[in-house]
Amino acid sequence: MSIYATLWTLKFPHQGRARLDCDWTLVRAQGVPPHIGSPTPGLGYADGDPYGAFLPPPLETNKHGEHDFMRAVVFV
């Protein structure tokens, strides 16, 4: 299981011009939902954030694990 969720994928022509026979480059955004590693009681991270070494600080969420922002977004 991954901690990332795919948010969207965009497709761009590899050489900058779209043609029927052109190659395409995909750019994908993946986000870490706010409940991952959250210190909010009841979300399963009472022993600490296991992802703190490589993610921004965890977010305080509501009791449902919701927040206005993602914890992190990565472009692949």
Q: What is the pLDDT of residues 7-45, one digit of tens each?
A: 999 999 988 888 888 899 999 999 999 999 999 999 999
The answer to whether 74 and 44 are in contact (CB under 8 A) is no
Half-sphere CA count of 51, side-chain side, radius 13 A: 19
pLDDT above 80: residue 1: no
pLDDT in tens, 10-19: 999 988 888 8
pLDDT surpasses 90 at 51: yes
What's the pTM? Answer: 0.77
The parent domain of residue 41 ranges over 1-76
Q: Which helix (DSSP H) or strand (DSSP E) does residue 60 occupy?
A: none
- Alpha carbons 4 and 29: distance in angstroms, whole number: 10
Domain count within the chain: 1
- Name the residue with tokens 């795919």: 6
Token pair 């305080």: residue: 60
One-letter identity of residue 60: E
What angle is formed at CA 56 by the lines to CA 2 and CA 60, rounded to 5 degrees?
A: 90
